Structure 1
Amino acid sequence: MTKKQRKNRVSVGSRVFDTFNYILLGLIGLITILPFIHVLGSSFATSAEIADTTFLLFPTEFSLNAYRYIFSTDTIFKALGVSITVTIGGTLWSMFLSTLTAYGLSRRDLIGRRHINFLIVFTMLFNGGMIPTFLVVQQTGLLDSLLALIVPVSINAFNMIILRSFFLNLPQGLEESAKIDGANDFGILFRIVIPISLPAIATISLFYAVTYWNTYMHAILYLSDAGKWPVQVLLRQIVVLASGISYDGSSFTDVPPPEVTVKMATIVVATVPVLLVYPFLQKYFTKGALLGSVKG
């Protein structure tokens, strides 16, 4: 077999392999996106079409009854405001603490660095549990406060370790050059390290933002004032009301739409804000996650 024939053979095999991969990945992508289309289509469907169709993708007649039902009270807008406030404030606070902690633990001259790392990793395996955490929140006076949704989860050990691993892979020559120019540790962190670490910072910020946006259990445990509920808790109450279970929030419409459409609409309302933010961070997401977790 000549060299040219071997080249053609490899080229044909490569094209067949690429074609197979495209088909396989396309099918996987289609399977992945179908549930989202089903949820979105069902949220706009009418009661008759929901009753007649087991798996609905595109409704023949669009209806906004489920969304009118959800947004029929000003409470939903208050809950969205609470969730946005907690998400933005909590993400900024968590990133501030995580960045300081990760940068400090990435310094090889830090005394006791290994012991501190061990204690942080230990919290990923063992924690005090629900009742001790509730008692701590109660004793610190955070009950029925939005701070109760932020302070107890200020730093996530996994996110901090990813950020620390990213900082460990930065060239040490940058810090040495900055020190020669007279920069202190904070100047090196905020003027040099953070600007070149935007992929990792954007990735961890997205992790924290999704966590704060999906806050549910902490709100149930620590907040007794319904006016301070985040959107996840309020949407749960709407679903319960649409299911026919009695609930004292009588400001909603008297005749609820079908339970299925309300559930689908609540999923859309709770998911769309995160989906709108993700495209702006997508270019950083893969790069930041890989550099922070693989090279550590």
Structure 2
Amino acid sequence: MARKLLTNKNDLLFVVIVYGLLIISMLLVVFPFLYVIFSSFSTKAEYISRGFYIFPKEWTLNSYGYLLNHRGFLASFSNTFYISIVGTMINVIITCLMAYGLSKQWLKGRAILNFLVLFSMIFNGGIIPTYMIVKELGLIDSYWSLFLSGAIAPFILIIMRSFFSTIPSELEEAARMDGCNEWRLLFRIAIPLSLPSIITISLMYGVAHWNSYFQAILYLNSSSKWPVQVFLRQLLLESDSAMELNIGAFEYGPPVQMAAVIATALPLLVCYPFLQKYFNKGMLVGSVKG
């Protein structure tokens, strides 16, 4: 009885420690996020004069109104939507086609190709060789430089290959007996059964494209083609003296910068809760069989 009571006490202590660490971790994540949100609703004068605070004394939407009327912000936002949607579609199509082929035991050279995929996940060509290839292909200052330079992520490819490998071979054999070829097997059987994993990799590719920053600076020379992350960088690097020179931008200070951060992250924050169940299921199923 005493031993059981001691075990229960140890379990209780373990639960308290785990929940305590989780609460601390949550506060470390949520507190800065709340600070950015509430700061975006304050005025520039209050932000500078009060120092650190959470709830502003005077609430205003001037920062968001300024962003919505800023041509550069709206253009970069539309550019990011285009890059994310088109780039994700290209990534998913190419990844699914290659993953489906690598999942077949009868594919000649399958072991070598799988090794090359794993090798490319650990070692890559580097920034300069990749830039030289993109330049020689004539893709500089084109969105195709963003789409094709990272068309397939090796880790995501391995996830899809693992999922396709879990499809029962008996199901494919029955489909072949009914006259299905490999293309019909892929689009009529494999893809419908792998929707959770496809949604998962779509989310992963979409987030990568939405947050594309370094590649955009590297390959896109025209500022009119920049995504919102590059615009956000330019906004955060603006000095206070330069801000004051902008006529009508009296709120073009830290609150506008905070509002830009929130507006940039908002689409992902809205979409993720609806896709989380597919993300968890897809990652679980894709990791069952390697």
**TM-score range relative to shorter protein:** 0.7 to 0.9
Check whether the contact 1:97–1:155 (CA below 8 A) recurs between aligned residues.
Answer: yes
The range that moved more, 167-176 or 49-58, is 49-58
Partner of 1:292: 286
Q: 2:283 is matched by which residue type in structure 1?
A: A
Check whether the contact 2:134–2:149 (CA below 8 A) recurs between aligned residues.
Answer: yes
Query: 1:124 and 2:121 equivalent?
Result: yes
The range that moved more, 230-239 or 44-53, is 44-53
Q: 1:178 is matched by which residue type in structure 2?
A: A
Query: 1:194 and 2:191 equivalent?
Result: yes
- Please provide the CA RMSD for this pair: 2.7
Partner of 1:278: 272
State the alpha-carbon separation in 2 of the partners of residues 280 and 45 from structure 1: 31
TM superposition score normalised by structure 1: 0.86
State the alpha-carbon separation in 2 of the partners of residues 92 and 63 from structure 1: 39
Partner of 2:234: 237
The range that moved more, 98-107 or 135-144, is 135-144
Q: By how many angstroms is 1:243 displaced?
A: 4.2
State the alpha-carbon separation in 2 of the partners of residues 293 and 254 from structure 1: 54
Matches within 5 A, 1:199-278: 199-244=196-241, 253=247, 255-257=249-251, 259-278=253-272
State the alpha-carbon separation in 2 of the partners of residues 258 and 294 from structure 1: 51
Matches within 5 A, 1:154-173: 154-173=151-170
Partner of 2:44: 47
Q: By how many angstroms is 1:68 displaced?
A: 3.2
Check whether the contact 1:66–1:262 (CA below 8 A) recurs between aligned residues.
Answer: yes
Deviation per residue, 1:92-124 (Å, 9 max, x gap):
010000001111111111111111011111112
Check whether the contact 1:69–1:253 (CA below 8 A) recurs between aligned residues.
Answer: no
Partner of 2:177: 180
The range that moved more, 26-35 or 39-48, is 26-35
Identical pairs, percent = 43
Matches within 5 A, 1:141-152: 141-152=138-149
Q: 2:31 is matched by which residue type in structure 1?
A: L
TM superposition score normalised by structure 2: 0.88
Q: Which runs of 5+ in 2 are unaligned?
A: none
Partner of 1:84: 81
Match of 1:66 among 29, 53, 63: 63
Check whether the contact 1:231–1:270 (CA below 8 A) recurs between aligned residues.
Answer: yes
Q: 2:59 is matched by which residue type in structure 1?
A: F
State the alpha-carbon separation in 2 of the partners of residues 157 and 256 from structure 1: 47
Change (3 A) 1:134 1:200: same
Change (3 A) 1:79 1:269: same
Q: Which runs of 5+ in 1 are unaligned?
A: none
State the alpha-carbon separation in 2 of the partners of residues 61 and 262 from structure 1: 15
Matches within 5 A, 1:26-41: 26-41=23-38
Check whether the contact 1:239–1:262 (CA below 8 A) recurs between aligned residues.
Answer: no
SS of residue matched to 2:28: helix
Deviation per residue, 1:173-213 (Å, 9 max, x gap):
22122112211111111111111111111111001001111
Deviation per residue, 1:156-181 (Å, 9 max, x gap):
11111111112222222221221122
State the alpha-carbon separation in 2 of the partners of residues 194 and 11 from structure 1: 48
Match of 1:96 among 83, 93, 96: 93
State the alpha-carbon separation in 2 of the partners of residues 258 and 236 from structure 1: 14
